[in-house]
Structure 1
Amino acid sequence: MSEASELRLLLTADAVGGVWTHAVELAAGLSSAGVATTLATLGPAPTPRQIAAAEVYPGVTVAPTGLPLDWLARSAGEISDAAEALAAFARAASADVVHLHSAAYALADYGVPVIVSCHSCLATWWETMRDGPPAADFEWRVAATAHGHVAADRLVAPTAAFARATRAAYGLAHEPVVVPNGIGAAPRDEPVSPGAASVFTVGRLWDEAKDVATLDLAAARIAVPFEAAGALASPDGAAAIRLQTIQALGQLSADEVRARLARRPVFASAARYEPFGLAALEAARAGCPLVLSDIPTLRELWNGAALFAAPGDADGFADHIARLLDAPNERAHFGALARQRSRRFTRDAMTAGMLRLYREALSAPDHVGAAA
């Protein structure tokens, strides 16, 4: 396939959280490059509003498959059956390249190059969040992911730190290629004024890896509104959080989140496990000052453009947030630093990186369609 305009892509996503945002941004960028993208969703179906927002881009079609998310599947057989169904779906869509957000689904015969995004996985999550060997329920899931890594034509990660972690966790011969996530166009280079004297966070609040509990403790020491957007319970109801101090706003639309970020509150993330962190990028793009957990991926992306607290250090988060709240000029300074850094992570840059991967995979002599 010599020209992007000839390319037909099957791109998977789920309809909740950062994977959806990433997939739609990538599909939008590929649309501008003339690529036709079928956005195949796994797990709960996207809302009509989500579908409309994605399909506004020429060549983008949202196709809910009803297939399970890998981390909610109940057995290895269920993942295997879903992978075969997804391969049949890709053939029906006449895909030239398949781009998966779960390595476990790479085990089927797609007949075309398969790219796997290493954006999150149970093995790296376990190594960060737990001690000792994985639980029995994790073992078969991790094995399926490991086999999928080997089966894929190319692996891609959003940060070098997570690429290293993925290679170490699975004993890969090589690290995944790094293509950072990106959103929209680069922001205009303009002054950033002090934003609202408030604090905001957004994400899967129920997910212990996001460690909103630490922010809730920090919020007790902060005398301004501290709001959090996102679900308090996981999709299967197995995990939930109850916030004592932070005001929970529930699940907000992308437009509603952007409206809050436009006020430029202090944005806080205490994540212990975060392969990239699109929410922090969206906040930085709006000119919000960032207070982040000091983990390798976030340090890689935002070193010199954010304040960092040790994971789990509620007092450290409270001190940094209070420092910014007490000094409007410093809020503006760190907001400007964050916005300037965000210029590195654009939709166009991400799209160019992914297109290079697709073309490399298509031109490789050992892929199924190479002689076509």
Structure 2
Amino acid sequence: MEENSYLKYPRRILMTADTVGGVWTYSLNLAKALAKFNVQVYLATMGSLPNEKQKKQAAQIPNLTLHSSDYALEWMENPWEGVDKAGPWLMDLQKLINPDLIHLNNYCHGHLDWKAPVMMVCHSCVFSWWENVIGSTPPEHYQEYFTRVQRGLQAADLVVAPSRDMLQSISRIYGELANKIVIPNGGEPVTIERDEKQDVIFSMGRLWDSAKNIESLNRVAGDLSWPVVIAGDDAVPGSSENSTFTNVTYTGKLDQDEVNGWLAKASIYALPARYEPFGLSILEAAHAGCTLVLGDIPSLRENWIGAAFFVEPGNLEALKYTLETLIQRPELRKKYAERAAIRAKAFTTKRMANLYLEKYEELLNAPRLTAPKSAAKSVTLPNT
């Protein structure tokens, strides 16, 4: 880009992502929505190599080019060798692509020698996860994670989060940020036959992640009048450990078409989460006409108040009572399914893309800071 030129939208974006969780879906949704603006997205993935279904998903998006690696993600156990090796790989991609803008969906590479403006999106973090799920600050050996995340955040030109609650948590934990904004995630309804709703409660997510609290559903399922079906990955990344579910029907990890099929069938979608900065699966369920039963946490109330039922994450009796009440009261289910579907219309990929494009434009046409990124102010590790 010439020094005095005006570039309304980036033509080439280098975006990072992982293949493990919701960031993959978010990245593909955003890339697809950017296609009509002639924005090319070069997606650099880490964590694990994409599987065949994921490769097929990516190949169906004409403006998306996939660059894959299996470098460790910063939240994994002992990741730093892989995180450090990913740095030169990303720099090589920058040289190859010559992007107009860098869109990072991780933290620890924010300080690299980027030649274009850097937007960093906070989808979750270990410290806010630990606070909400464990109820304390992480142990001392997470100091390295804290230091690297803080350095990456303070090096970014703009920090984005999908909810106010998440953005406030990031600012409180890692230090105040000069340039930050909330941009909610987006999704699109799929073509389904809502008249075919069945007597089924459905849930999905990373089953090994205590933040999702899907184990609570397993514990109450045997006392409910309807069957409970759960989907997702039960294997902890980098470990042979698996989650065990005995009172529910477990489908395993599903592709998007299979997920859509279950959402079309399910009358109730339950995710009594302890920690969920946005919740793309909740949005998908709302679009599909499901009644929502969610964990009573600030981020979910922020988006779904008045359109969902909220249950304290650790209260099994309340979860059981709420689900059984909805089972017995079809008119109440219908009322709240309609409310959820209406609320979901506020979270579309079109709106998400437009908000990102607005911020891309601001970043591209604002003067870059000349101070070295390593000069970012330090903030000490929070006390337990």
Q: TM-score range by the shorter chain?
A: over 0.9
Q: 1:298 to 1:21 in 2, by over 3 A?
A: same
Task: Report which stretch shifted further, 51-60 or 275-284.
Answer: 51-60
Partner of 1:200: 202
- Identify which of 175, 178, 190 aligns with 1:171: 175
How far off is 1:254 after superposition?
A: 0.9
Alignment-mate amino acid for residue 342 of structure 1 = A
Partner of 2:294: 292
Partner of 1:113: 117
How far off is 1:131 after superposition?
A: 4.1
Paired residues of 1:204 and 1:210 also in contact (CA < 8 A): yes
Report 1:1-372 matches (<5 A): 1-4=6-9, 7-72=11-76, 74=78, 76=80, 78-174=82-178, 176-184=180-188, 195-237=197-239, 240-366=242-368
- RMSD (Å), alpha carbons: 2.1
Task: Report which stretch shifted further, 227-236 or 57-66.
Answer: 57-66
CA separation in 2, counterparts of 1:132 and 1:274?
A: 17
SS of 1:71's partner is coil
- 1:44-90 deviation line (CA, Å, top 9, x unaligned): 11123322222322221111133221222625454233223212212
CA separation in 1, counterparts of 2:100 and 2:229?
A: 44
SS of 1:103's partner is coil
CA separation in 1, counterparts of 2:241 and 2:360?
A: 37
SS of 1:267's partner is strand
How far off is 1:192 after superposition?
A: 6.2
Alignment-mate amino acid for residue 180 of structure 1 = P
SS of 2:169's partner is helix
SS of 1:360's partner is helix
SS of 1:104's partner is coil
How far off is 1:238 after superposition?
A: 6.4
Task: Report which stretch shifted further, 319-328 or 153-162.
Answer: 319-328
CA separation in 1, counterparts of 2:136 and 2:299?
A: 23
How far off is 1:343 after superposition?
A: 0.1
SS of 2:211's partner is helix
Task: Report which stretch shifted further, 239-248 or 263-272.
Answer: 239-248
Alignment-mate amino acid for residue 63 of structure 1 = H
How far off is 1:367 after superposition?
A: 5.3
Paired residues of 1:17 and 1:204 also in contact (CA < 8 A): yes
Paired residues of 2:202 and 2:228 also in contact (CA < 8 A): yes
Task: Report which stretch shifted further, 281-290 or 211-220.
Answer: 211-220
TM-score, normalising length from structure 1? 0.92
- 1:165-222 deviation line (CA, Å, top 9, x unaligned): 111111224573100000126x89x996583211000000110111112111221221
Paired residues of 1:180 and 1:345 also in contact (CA < 8 A): yes
CA separation in 2, counterparts of 1:180 and 1:100?
A: 16
Paired residues of 2:231 and 2:254 also in contact (CA < 8 A): yes
CA separation in 1, counterparts of 2:56 and 2:252?
A: 22
CA separation in 2, counterparts of 1:364 and 1:175?
A: 12
How far off is 1:142 after superposition?
A: 1.6
Paired residues of 1:164 and 1:175 also in contact (CA < 8 A): no
CA separation in 2, counterparts of 1:106 and 1:73?
A: 20
CA separation in 1, counterparts of 2:314 and 2:268?
A: 18
Partner of 2:379: none
Task: Report which stretch shifted further, 294-303 or 97-106.
Answer: 97-106
Q: 1:137 to 1:311 in 2, by over 3 A?
A: same
Alignment-mate amino acid for residue 13 of structure 1 = A
- 1:332-351 deviation line (CA, Å, top 9, x unaligned): 11111111100000001110
SS of 1:72's partner is coil
CA separation in 2, counterparts of 1:269 and 1:218?
A: 13
CA separation in 2, counterparts of 1:349 and 1:284?
A: 17
Paired residues of 2:196 and 2:265 also in contact (CA < 8 A): no
Alignment-mate amino acid for residue 2 of structure 1 = L
Paired residues of 1:192 and 1:333 also in contact (CA < 8 A): no
Paired residues of 1:7 and 1:96 also in contact (CA < 8 A): yes
